[in-house]
Structure 1
Amino acid sequence: MKKRIAVIGSGFSGLSTSAYLAKAGNEVSVFEKHDRPGGRARQFSTAQGYVFDMGPSWYWMPDIIESFFADFGHKSSDFFELITLNPQFEIIFSQDKISVPKNLEELKLLFEQIEKGAGLQLEKFMKSAKFKYEVGMQDFVNKPCHNWFEFISPKIAKSALKLDLLTNFRNYVAKYFKNEKLRTLMEFPVIFLGASPKNIPALYSLMNYGGYVLGTHYPNGGFYQLVLAMKKVAENQGAVFHFNKTVESINTQNGKVRSLTINGEIYEFDAVIASSDYHHTETLLNKEYRNYSEAYWQNKTFAPSSLIYYLGIKQSIPNLKHHTLFFENDLDEHIDCIYGVKKWPGKPLFYACCPSKTDNTVAPKGKENLFLLMPLAIGINDEEFVREQYLTEMLARIEKHTGVTGLRSMIEYKRSYCVSDFVSDYNAYGGNAYGLANTLGQTAVLKPKIKSKRLKNLFYTGQLTVPGPGVPPSIISGKIVANEIIKLKHEEL
């Protein structure tokens, strides 16, 4: 029997779950507070001709994304052209830089040049990382994580030691490499999982494999092409999207959600899936129906927020790659400002994305589209004058690297985005940008549950629940929740 299902939010998990549920024959309605789909992955254009992706810019784990399209008889190439970046990115240190090539053999040669024996060590590291990737992305992350019994299987038991769940990532990397720059290069991918490499399980070396070995890619036209493609897939299955629709309350009766109040009107549904911020969604419920208290969220370790600048530069910037990491300062000092003392960093690290180096559609000819991002602690003051101070520093370091002078005078479009914007636009707890940190104590069954404990037909998906932050995990999260609902009979909702 067809179920009437509401999905709150059209980020990647909402797009994913709506497609799978519609494919199963349900009547799916997606409600999005903004005027377009994508959530944190929205895109905007300016009068000067710049096109900015607002959030994700690293297209990693392409096999996971291809798997989504394959489930609906498609390939990503049916919707957009995927470009493999070479170099994948450049990382800038205080005295030199490392340019990461697109294939493993070249990367091994690079490692060997920097540290004798490191090429062979990288091969060993990636062999182990590949195993973690294949087991982790196939057998671990696809679990709904209701309880630990889901992980009891001969294959998982046999793999347990090889997954290095109890070893921290920093110590694990140090077993392979002595050179500090190589260690930083290997530690960088886990920073956005939401904790120091000292607190992330070594299991997440799978990120190194998913990025460095499978490659860094770019959808021509911007990351938003993936959003549009997934929306098209969902619509082809029958899902209907409603924009400029704010869910104001979740209405319950007899242990079930009966309806949603949206823009002042009441709509009835058989089930509701929240792809919106988990904490915010629960504020739409009476307290007795919430899974978690305020104290629960206050005690959680969140992934960083970010200071972002979207800049339109009216001339070309030489010597700048598509992706550049400015890591001239101490990594641990910046990390401590995020998770320890929780303040603006004194000596920040930051990331620059210049997609106009690859894509001539995102900036006018001869000009550059420049996206700057600095990870920050959640919940801190982000007044505009503070943001501007850090913009000045970031521009100065770009000038030093590229040899350009007077970069600020070349800005013809500027927009900042920071902690308070994540709160106002996405109801993000503390203004977080990436969800919950993937620490050992917040992994799998220890993450917020995908199902309401008190309401039979309310479910949660996205970066605050399983499997965790990032675009591929969010796509997987949507599929997990859809499968849980598909398995239920109509009378169970």
Structure 2
Amino acid sequence: MKKKVLIVGTGLAGLSTALRLSTNGYEVEMVEKYHRPGGRLNLLEKDGFKFDMAPTFFSMSYEFQELADACNIKVPFEFVELDPLYAVHFEGDEKAYLIHKNLKKLAAEFQNIEPDLEQKVKRFLEGAGAIFHDTEHIVIKQNFDSLLGYLLQLTRVPLKHAPKMFYSMWREMEKNFDSFEVKVIFSLVGFFLGATPFDTPAVYSMLNYTELVHDGYHNVKGGMYKIVEGLVAELKKRAVTMHFGVEITQVEEKHGQVTAFIDSTGKKWEADLFVVNADAAAFRGQILKRKRYRPSKLDQKKWTLAPLTIYLGLDTKVKGMYHHNYFLRRNFKEYANKIFKNSIKLDKPYYYANIQSMHNPDYAPAGKESVFILCPVPDLRYKPNWEDAEEIADAIVADMGKRTGFDFAKHTEMRIIYPPNKWESTFNLYRGSGLGLAHDLNQVGGFRPSNKDESYNNLYYAGASTVPGTGLPMTVISSRLVTERILNDHGHLSQK
């Protein structure tokens, strides 16, 4: 007989887990609070404009290939490699720096401020690559049954990497580069983790290796939501059912097992096994009522920055800009140290802008443009009131116009703003945190909420706040790890 799995949440980890389990003969049913699948990897549409709601590029594309191979399918979407990777605009500079994978081109961009950059980057990336390859299969792609097991596994990592666990990414940049601009640009990967380079351990410089050498960054032909559409199409072939507008609020259990989840209408959703693709920490506190994860305990944890996102529909095309852009200022350390706890004004924030219809022309009506802007901001613990979201958005749009010479405000014909409280209510993001739990050393690996429940032997977790961590490829790896757990505990069924 088939065993039935109920997956709560249709984010990338949930969809990937559904695909893996259905491949191994499990009957899969999925429930989702939002009106369509994808979680944060979603699509916003209005007045003929389309927008990727959150992720706009990714690294480690081979993890999608691994997923496809494991499930006996072809990758159901087409990668588009980015090169240059992105442009960086510093306040007061007329020139925007293009970040190339080709190190000679990269060095040429900075030849006036960072002599011998090619050799410096090669040396830096050699060390970053060593960290990546020495930890990938030992730490990143492993399940851990206990904290002791995790700590023992760490002893397999070469001792030479240990010091980088205890000082910051910014210090690592200072050891390798001289110019302010290069140090800032190479430390942006700290922000990709939802943190800052001043509180992100130097070991995460391995991400510089993944962006410049190992795989680079990719978009998807037709838009990022093609990932979701492709996976959903494959799941439909396997008769995986999805139900939308369903919010789980309670658990029913008996003899150490979950027997059903109960939604906000009182309906019971029964299964043999359950996988939660909601925040693994918050779900334990909010739904399972675990004291260890009650709000006072969750609020003491380190969470990633919240997103304030702006979606602009323009009545004309943007000229003279690259499609992926970072807009930075000169007060980098002050800003990074104060932004988390809302102790700096948001009138001149740092932000990222993606001209989405440059990659995907059908994201905007003919002759028009879709623009996505992301500003990392304090979460709702530190800034609960977002009545000033429109004012902050006005300042960002005006600043971008001033720094690029293109009047975005004048050419805006539609605008949507998602402040952190909107993200919290739409996708159940704890305190509006954009990427879940941060990657401090006491919140990674065996310290992170496990993907197997500590009380119920048929309840599992997949997604950003469990192992291995946040980001699109990490959640695909998460789906593999949780599937390994389930197969080890409950066996392979019929192979499709």
Could you state the TM-score of these two structures normalised by the residue count of structure 1? 0.92
- Residue 391 of structure 1 corresponds to 393
Separation in structure 2 between the aligned mates of residue 371 and residue 52 of structure 1, nearest angstrom: 7
**Other structure's SS at 1:364 match:** coil
CA contact (8 A) 2:452 2:485 kept: no
Separation in structure 2 between the aligned mates of residue 160 and residue 75 of structure 1, nearest angstrom: 40
Separation in structure 1 between the aligned mates of residue 411 and residue 347 of structure 2, nearest angstrom: 26
- The CA deviation at 1:57 is 0.6
Separation in structure 2 between the aligned mates of residue 66 and residue 129 of structure 1, nearest angstrom: 24
- The CA deviation at 1:470 is 0.9
Tell me which amino acid in the other structure corresponds to 1:84.
E
- Residue 450 of structure 2 corresponds to 449
Q: Does 1:265 align with 2:271?
A: no
- Residue 139 of structure 1 corresponds to 138
Tell me which amino acid in the other structure corresponds to 1:486.
L
Q: Does 1:26 align with 2:26?
A: yes
Q: Does 1:52 align with 2:51?
A: yes
Q: Does 1:274 align with 2:273?
A: no
- Residue 6 of structure 1 corresponds to 6
Q: Does 1:89 align with 2:91?
A: no
Gap change, CA 1:246 and 1:215, over 3 Å in 2: same
CA contact (8 A) 1:13 1:461 kept: yes
Separation in structure 1 between the aligned mates of residue 198 and residue 282 of structure 2, nearest angstrom: 30
- The CA deviation at 1:307 is 0.9
**1:236-293: CA deviation from partner (whole Å, max 9, x where unpaired):** 4453322222223211111110112234322321111110123442356453x56533
Gap change, CA 1:74 and 1:22, over 3 Å in 2: closer
**Residue correspondence of structure 1 range 109-188 to structure 2 within 5 A:** 109-147=108-146, 148-150=148-150, 152=152, 157=156, 159-162=158-161, 164-188=164-188
- Residue 465 of structure 1 corresponds to 466
Separation in structure 1 between the aligned mates of residue 484 and residue 234 of structure 2, nearest angstrom: 17
CA contact (8 A) 1:338 1:378 kept: no
Q: Does 1:338 align with 2:339?
A: yes
- The CA deviation at 1:87 is 2.2
Separation in structure 1 between the aligned mates of residue 99 and residue 286 of structure 2, nearest angstrom: 46
Gap change, CA 1:29 and 1:7, over 3 Å in 2: same
- Residue 494 of structure 2 corresponds to none
- Residue 302 of structure 2 corresponds to 301
Separation in structure 2 between the aligned mates of residue 372 and residue 418 of structure 1, nearest angstrom: 12
**Residue correspondence of structure 1 range 63-74 to structure 2 within 5 A:** 63-74=62-73
Tell me which amino acid in the other structure corresponds to 1:282.
R
CA contact (8 A) 1:130 1:209 kept: yes
CA contact (8 A) 1:166 1:202 kept: yes
Gap change, CA 1:158 and 1:468, over 3 Å in 2: closer
Gap change, CA 1:249 and 1:232, over 3 Å in 2: same
CA contact (8 A) 2:310 2:418 kept: yes
**Other structure's SS at 2:253 match:** strand
Tell me which amino acid in the other structure corresponds to 1:439.
D
Separation in structure 2 between the aligned mates of residue 222 and residue 21 of structure 1, nearest angstrom: 27
Separation in structure 1 between the aligned mates of residue 257 and residue 124 of structure 2, nearest angstrom: 49
More off after superposition, 166-175 vs 308-317: 166-175
Gap change, CA 1:181 and 1:344, over 3 Å in 2: same
**1:4-40: CA deviation from partner (whole Å, max 9, x where unpaired):** 1111000011111111111111111111112211001
Separation in structure 2 between the aligned mates of residue 328 and residue 341 of structure 1, nearest angstrom: 17
Separation in structure 2 between the aligned mates of residue 106 and residue 465 of structure 1, nearest angstrom: 38
More off after superposition, 455-464 vs 180-189: 455-464
CA contact (8 A) 1:60 1:211 kept: yes
CA contact (8 A) 2:198 2:337 kept: no
CA contact (8 A) 2:91 2:403 kept: no
Could you say what the CA RMSD is over the residues aligned between the two structures, in angstroms?
Answer: 2.2
Separation in structure 2 between the aligned mates of residue 102 and residue 313 of structure 1, nearest angstrom: 31
Separation in structure 2 between the aligned mates of residue 364 and residue 33 of structure 1, nearest angstrom: 30
CA contact (8 A) 2:347 2:395 kept: no
In the comparison of the two structures, how many residue pairs are matched? 483
Separation in structure 2 between the aligned mates of residue 206 and residue 73 of structure 1, nearest angstrom: 31
- The CA deviation at 1:125 is 1.2
Gap change, CA 1:323 and 1:431, over 3 Å in 2: same
**1:380-431: CA deviation from partner (whole Å, max 9, x where unpaired):** 23434x11222222122222232223x3232111110011111111121111
Q: Does 1:202 align with 2:199?
A: no
CA contact (8 A) 1:382 1:418 kept: no
- The CA deviation at 1:344 is 4.9
**1:109-146: CA deviation from partner (whole Å, max 9, x where unpaired):** 43455312221110011122222223333331112233
**Residue correspondence of structure 1 range 211-250 to structure 2 within 5 A:** 211-213=211-213, 214-250=215-251
Tell me which amino acid in the other structure corresponds to 1:269.
A
CA contact (8 A) 2:258 2:456 kept: yes
Separation in structure 2 between the aligned mates of residue 470 and residue 342 of structure 1, nearest angstrom: 27
- Residue 437 of structure 2 corresponds to 436
Separation in structure 1 between the aligned mates of residue 101 and residue 476 of structure 2, nearest angstrom: 25
Tell me which amino acid in the other structure corresponds to 2:90.
F
Q: Gaps (5+ residues) in structure 1?
A: none
Percentage of matched positions with identical amino acids:
27
Gap change, CA 1:238 and 1:205, over 3 Å in 2: farther
**1:150-178: CA deviation from partner (whole Å, max 9, x where unpaired):** 5646x962524236323321111211101
- Residue 489 of structure 1 corresponds to 490
Gap change, CA 1:122 and 1:225, over 3 Å in 2: same
Tell me which amino acid in the other structure corresponds to 1:116.
P
- Residue 414 of structure 1 corresponds to 415
Tell me which amino acid in the other structure corresponds to 1:83.
V
**1:286-320: CA deviation from partner (whole Å, max 9, x where unpaired):** 53x56533332111010010111111000112112
**Other structure's SS at 2:126 match:** helix
Separation in structure 1 between the aligned mates of residue 325 and residue 123 of structure 2, nearest angstrom: 27
Q: Does 1:381 align with 2:384?
A: yes
- The CA deviation at 1:481 is 1.0
Tell me which amino acid in the other structure corresponds to 2:475.
S
Separation in structure 2 between the aligned mates of residue 360 and residue 314 of structure 1, nearest angstrom: 14
Separation in structure 1 between the aligned mates of residue 16 and residue 443 of structure 2, nearest angstrom: 23
- The CA deviation at 1:46 is 1.6
